[in-house]
Amino acid sequence: MLVKGNEILLKAHKEGYGVGAFNFVNFEMLNAIFEAGNEENSPLFIQASEGAIKYMGIDMAVGMVKTMCERYPHIPVALHLDHGTTFESCEKAVKAGFTSVMIDASHHAFEENLELTSKVVKMAHNAGVSVEAELGRLMGIEDNISVDEKDAVLVNPKEAEQFVKESQVDYLAPAIGTSHGAFKFKGEPKLDFERLQEVKRLTNIPLVLHGASAIPDNVRKSYLDAGGDLKGSKGVPFEFLQESVKGGINKVNTDTDLRIAF
Protein backbone atom coordinates (compact mmCIF):
# COMPACT_ATOMS: atom_id res chain seq x y z
CA MET A 1 0.00 0.00 0.00
CA LEU A 2 1.49 3.32 -1.10
CA VAL A 3 1.33 5.93 1.68
CA LYS A 4 2.81 9.31 2.56
CA GLY A 5 6.25 9.19 4.12
CA ASN A 6 4.95 10.85 7.26
CA GLU A 7 2.39 8.10 7.81
CA ILE A 8 5.30 5.73 8.34
CA LEU A 9 7.80 7.98 10.08
CA LEU A 10 5.55 9.78 12.57
CA LYS A 11 4.63 6.39 14.03
CA ALA A 12 8.30 5.40 14.14
CA HIS A 13 9.12 8.75 15.78
CA LYS A 14 6.41 8.33 18.40
CA GLU A 15 7.28 4.71 19.21
CA GLY A 16 11.07 5.03 18.92
CA TYR A 17 12.07 2.67 16.12
CA GLY A 18 13.78 2.88 12.74
CA VAL A 19 12.49 2.04 9.27
CA GLY A 20 14.70 0.78 6.46
CA ALA A 21 14.98 3.00 3.38
CA PHE A 22 16.40 1.18 0.37
CA ASN A 23 17.52 2.47 -3.02
CA PHE A 24 16.78 0.57 -6.21
CA VAL A 25 17.80 0.87 -9.85
CA ASN A 26 16.02 -2.15 -11.36
CA PHE A 27 13.27 -4.70 -10.75
CA GLU A 28 15.59 -7.32 -9.24
CA MET A 29 16.63 -4.97 -6.44
CA LEU A 30 13.06 -3.78 -5.93
CA ASN A 31 11.74 -7.33 -5.70
CA ALA A 32 14.37 -8.24 -3.09
CA ILE A 33 13.45 -5.20 -0.98
CA PHE A 34 9.76 -6.11 -1.00
CA GLU A 35 10.50 -9.76 -0.21
CA ALA A 36 12.59 -8.69 2.80
CA GLY A 37 9.89 -6.27 3.96
CA ASN A 38 7.31 -9.01 3.71
CA GLU A 39 9.52 -11.45 5.61
CA GLU A 40 10.11 -8.94 8.40
CA ASN A 41 6.54 -7.58 8.32
CA SER A 42 8.01 -4.10 8.10
CA PRO A 43 7.01 -0.83 6.44
CA LEU A 44 9.38 0.32 3.70
CA PHE A 45 10.83 3.40 2.15
CA ILE A 46 11.60 2.65 -1.49
CA GLN A 47 14.06 5.20 -2.81
CA ALA A 48 15.23 6.33 -6.23
CA SER A 49 17.96 8.89 -6.82
CA GLU A 50 17.97 11.32 -9.73
CA GLY A 51 20.53 9.07 -11.44
CA ALA A 52 18.37 5.98 -10.97
CA ILE A 53 15.34 7.82 -12.35
CA LYS A 54 17.33 8.90 -15.38
CA TYR A 55 18.33 5.27 -15.94
CA MET A 56 14.91 3.66 -15.37
CA GLY A 57 12.61 6.45 -16.47
CA ILE A 58 10.36 8.02 -13.85
CA ASP A 59 7.14 6.42 -15.09
CA MET A 60 8.78 2.99 -15.12
CA ALA A 61 10.11 3.47 -11.59
CA VAL A 62 6.71 4.51 -10.25
CA GLY A 63 4.95 1.76 -12.19
CA MET A 64 7.20 -0.98 -10.81
CA VAL A 65 6.68 0.20 -7.24
CA LYS A 66 2.90 0.40 -7.67
CA THR A 67 2.87 -3.12 -9.13
CA MET A 68 4.83 -4.46 -6.16
CA CYS A 69 2.48 -2.64 -3.77
CA GLU A 70 -0.42 -4.51 -5.38
CA ARG A 71 1.45 -7.77 -4.80
CA TYR A 72 2.10 -6.88 -1.14
CA PRO A 73 -0.93 -4.75 -0.18
CA HIS A 74 -0.35 -5.25 3.56
CA ILE A 75 3.04 -3.45 3.53
CA PRO A 76 2.96 0.34 4.03
CA VAL A 77 5.32 1.77 1.40
CA ALA A 78 6.57 5.30 0.78
CA LEU A 79 8.09 6.01 -2.63
CA HIS A 80 10.86 8.53 -2.00
CA LEU A 81 13.04 10.75 -4.19
CA ASP A 82 16.55 10.49 -2.72
CA HIS A 83 18.81 13.55 -2.91
CA GLY A 84 16.70 15.73 -5.15
CA THR A 85 18.94 18.65 -6.06
CA THR A 86 16.46 21.13 -7.53
CA PHE A 87 12.90 22.33 -7.04
CA GLU A 88 12.10 21.06 -10.53
CA SER A 89 13.35 17.56 -9.75
CA CYS A 90 11.17 17.37 -6.64
CA GLU A 91 8.16 18.76 -8.48
CA LYS A 92 8.59 16.20 -11.26
CA ALA A 93 8.67 13.38 -8.70
CA VAL A 94 5.56 14.69 -6.94
CA LYS A 95 3.65 14.89 -10.23
CA ALA A 96 4.79 11.37 -11.16
CA GLY A 97 3.38 9.81 -7.99
CA PHE A 98 6.17 9.85 -5.40
CA THR A 99 4.79 10.13 -1.87
CA SER A 100 7.95 11.56 -0.33
CA VAL A 101 10.76 13.73 -1.70
CA MET A 102 14.13 14.88 -0.43
CA ILE A 103 15.45 18.29 -1.34
CA ASP A 104 19.18 18.22 -0.67
CA ALA A 105 20.44 21.78 -0.61
CA SER A 106 23.04 21.02 2.06
CA HIS A 107 25.82 22.18 -0.28
CA HIS A 108 24.34 25.69 -0.14
CA ALA A 109 24.67 28.21 2.68
CA PHE A 110 22.14 27.85 5.50
CA GLU A 111 19.81 30.62 4.29
CA GLU A 112 19.79 29.30 0.72
CA ASN A 113 19.11 25.78 1.97
CA LEU A 114 16.25 27.08 4.09
CA GLU A 115 14.76 29.10 1.23
CA LEU A 116 14.83 26.23 -1.28
CA THR A 117 13.59 23.69 1.25
CA SER A 118 10.68 25.94 2.25
CA LYS A 119 9.71 26.33 -1.41
CA VAL A 120 9.72 22.56 -1.94
CA VAL A 121 7.77 21.98 1.29
CA LYS A 122 5.01 24.35 0.20
CA MET A 123 4.71 22.70 -3.21
CA ALA A 124 4.84 19.14 -1.89
CA HIS A 125 2.48 19.68 1.03
CA ASN A 126 -0.10 21.17 -1.33
CA ALA A 127 0.03 17.82 -3.15
CA GLY A 128 -0.08 15.72 0.04
CA VAL A 129 3.58 14.68 -0.21
CA SER A 130 6.10 14.58 2.66
CA VAL A 131 9.51 16.26 2.49
CA GLU A 132 12.99 15.45 3.80
CA ALA A 133 15.90 17.90 3.94
CA GLU A 134 19.55 17.71 4.99
CA LEU A 135 21.72 19.88 7.23
CA GLY A 136 25.49 19.55 7.38
CA ARG A 137 27.47 17.77 4.68
CA LEU A 138 28.36 14.10 4.37
CA MET A 139 31.66 12.93 2.92
CA GLY A 140 31.70 10.60 -0.07
CA ILE A 141 29.98 10.41 -3.43
CA GLU A 142 26.24 10.50 -4.12
CA ASP A 143 25.16 10.53 -7.77
CA ASN A 144 28.60 11.83 -8.82
CA ILE A 145 28.53 14.72 -6.32
CA SER A 146 31.75 14.42 -4.33
CA VAL A 147 32.34 15.91 -0.86
CA ASP A 148 35.89 15.82 0.51
CA GLU A 149 36.68 15.44 4.21
CA LYS A 150 37.66 19.12 4.49
CA ASP A 151 34.24 20.15 3.16
CA ALA A 152 32.20 17.81 5.35
CA VAL A 153 30.45 19.68 8.17
CA LEU A 154 28.49 18.20 11.07
CA VAL A 155 25.05 19.59 11.79
CA ASN A 156 24.60 22.50 14.21
CA PRO A 157 21.72 21.54 16.56
CA LYS A 158 20.52 25.13 17.05
CA GLU A 159 20.50 25.68 13.30
CA ALA A 160 18.53 22.45 12.94
CA GLU A 161 15.91 23.77 15.37
CA GLN A 162 15.56 27.01 13.41
CA PHE A 163 15.56 25.19 10.07
CA VAL A 164 12.76 22.81 11.03
CA LYS A 165 10.64 25.54 12.60
CA GLU A 166 10.89 27.89 9.62
CA SER A 167 10.78 25.39 6.75
CA GLN A 168 8.11 23.06 8.22
CA VAL A 169 10.02 20.12 6.75
CA ASP A 170 8.67 16.70 7.79
CA TYR A 171 11.95 14.91 8.53
CA LEU A 172 15.58 15.91 8.64
CA ALA A 173 18.87 14.21 7.78
CA PRO A 174 21.50 15.64 10.16
CA ALA A 175 25.18 15.06 9.35
CA ILE A 176 26.66 13.25 12.38
CA GLY A 177 29.75 11.61 10.87
CA THR A 178 28.64 9.06 8.27
CA SER A 179 29.56 9.29 4.59
CA HIS A 180 28.28 7.97 1.30
CA GLY A 181 29.88 5.05 -0.51
CA ALA A 182 31.86 2.03 0.68
CA PHE A 183 34.66 3.97 2.40
CA LYS A 184 32.90 5.63 5.31
CA PHE A 185 35.71 6.00 7.86
CA LYS A 186 39.46 6.54 7.47
CA GLY A 187 40.19 5.47 11.04
CA GLU A 188 38.01 3.87 13.68
CA PRO A 189 34.27 4.31 13.07
CA LYS A 190 32.89 7.26 15.02
CA LEU A 191 29.51 8.97 15.04
CA ASP A 192 28.46 11.97 17.14
CA PHE A 193 25.57 10.47 19.10
CA GLU A 194 25.41 13.39 21.55
CA ARG A 195 24.91 15.79 18.66
CA LEU A 196 22.19 13.51 17.28
CA GLN A 197 20.35 13.43 20.60
CA GLU A 198 20.48 17.22 20.86
CA VAL A 199 19.07 17.62 17.34
CA LYS A 200 16.27 15.22 18.23
CA ARG A 201 15.48 17.09 21.43
CA LEU A 202 15.38 20.48 19.73
CA THR A 203 13.48 19.51 16.57
CA ASN A 204 11.19 16.73 17.84
CA ILE A 205 10.62 15.32 14.33
CA PRO A 206 11.66 12.09 12.58
CA LEU A 207 15.38 12.03 11.77
CA VAL A 208 17.19 10.29 8.91
CA LEU A 209 20.60 8.59 8.81
CA HIS A 210 22.30 8.81 5.44
CA GLY A 211 25.35 6.75 4.53
CA ALA A 212 24.14 3.90 6.74
CA SER A 213 25.29 0.86 4.75
CA ALA A 214 27.07 -1.66 6.98
CA ILE A 215 28.95 -3.63 4.29
CA PRO A 216 28.43 -6.90 6.23
CA ASP A 217 30.96 -9.71 5.92
CA ASN A 218 28.75 -11.98 3.82
CA VAL A 219 28.13 -9.24 1.26
CA ARG A 220 31.80 -8.29 1.22
CA LYS A 221 32.85 -11.93 0.71
CA SER A 222 30.46 -12.43 -2.20
CA TYR A 223 31.78 -9.30 -3.87
CA LEU A 224 35.42 -10.31 -3.41
CA ASP A 225 34.71 -13.86 -4.61
CA ALA A 226 33.28 -12.35 -7.79
CA GLY A 227 36.52 -10.46 -8.41
CA GLY A 228 35.62 -7.10 -6.90
CA ASP A 229 37.97 -4.88 -4.91
CA LEU A 230 36.85 -3.40 -1.59
CA LYS A 231 40.28 -2.85 -0.05
CA GLY A 232 40.03 -0.31 2.75
CA SER A 233 36.24 -0.21 2.73
CA LYS A 234 34.42 0.34 6.02
CA GLY A 235 30.71 0.37 6.70
CA VAL A 236 28.70 1.55 9.69
CA PRO A 237 28.80 -1.15 12.41
CA PHE A 238 25.39 -2.61 13.24
CA GLU A 239 25.76 -1.53 16.87
CA PHE A 240 26.17 2.06 15.63
CA LEU A 241 22.94 1.74 13.66
CA GLN A 242 21.18 0.47 16.78
CA GLU A 243 22.61 3.33 18.84
CA SER A 244 21.52 5.81 16.17
CA VAL A 245 17.94 4.58 16.37
CA LYS A 246 18.06 4.85 20.16
CA GLY A 247 19.30 8.41 19.70
CA GLY A 248 16.40 9.44 17.49
CA ILE A 249 16.95 8.12 13.96
CA ASN A 250 13.72 6.84 12.38
CA LYS A 251 14.75 6.34 8.74
CA VAL A 252 17.90 4.37 7.93
CA ASN A 253 19.15 4.83 4.36
CA THR A 254 20.87 1.92 2.62
CA ASP A 255 22.22 2.08 -0.93
CA THR A 256 25.82 0.83 -1.10
CA ASP A 257 25.01 -2.55 0.48
CA LEU A 258 22.42 -3.24 -2.20
CA ARG A 259 24.74 -2.17 -5.00
CA ILE A 260 27.50 -4.47 -3.73
CA ALA A 261 25.11 -7.38 -3.23
CA PHE A 262 23.65 -6.95 -6.70
Q: Which domains does the chain have, with CATH numbers?
A: 5-261 (3.20.20.70)
Given a contact cutoff of 8 angstroms between Cβ atoms, the answer to whether 195 and 174 are in contact is yes
Positions annotated as catalytic residues are 82
Tell me: is residue 250 an annotated ligand-binding position.
no
Which pTM does this prediction carry?
0.88
Given a contact cutoff of 8 angstroms between Cβ atoms, the answer to whether 94 and 129 are in contact is yes
- CA 31, CA 33: separation in Å to the nearest integer? 5
Q: Which residue has the higher pLDDT, 142 or 25?
A: 25
pLDDT digits (tens, 9 = 90+) for 46-99: 999 999 999 999 999 999 999 999 999 999 999 999 999 999 999 999 999 999
Residues 6 or more apart whose CB falls under 8 angstroms from that of 52 comprise 23, 24, 25, 61
Task: Kindly give the pairing relationship between strand 19-23 and strand 249-254.
Answer: parallel
Angle at 20 between CA 200 and CA 24, to 5 degrees: 130
Q: Mean pLDDT throughout 200-207?
A: 99
Alpha-carbon distance values, 23 to 65, 73, 80, 110, 242 (Å): 12, 20, 9, 27, 20
What pLDDT shows up at residue 141?
Answer: 46
Tell me: is residue 211 an annotated ligand-binding position.
yes
Tell me: is residue 253 an annotated ligand-binding position.
yes
Tell me: is residue 74 an annotated ligand-binding position.
no
Categorize the per-residue pLDDT at 179 as very low, low, confident or very high, splitting at 50, 70 and 90: low
Mean pLDDT (the chain, rounded): 88
Q: Mean pLDDT throughout 117-141?
A: 90
Tell me: is residue 203 an annotated ligand-binding position.
no
Tell me: is residue 70 an annotated ligand-binding position.
no
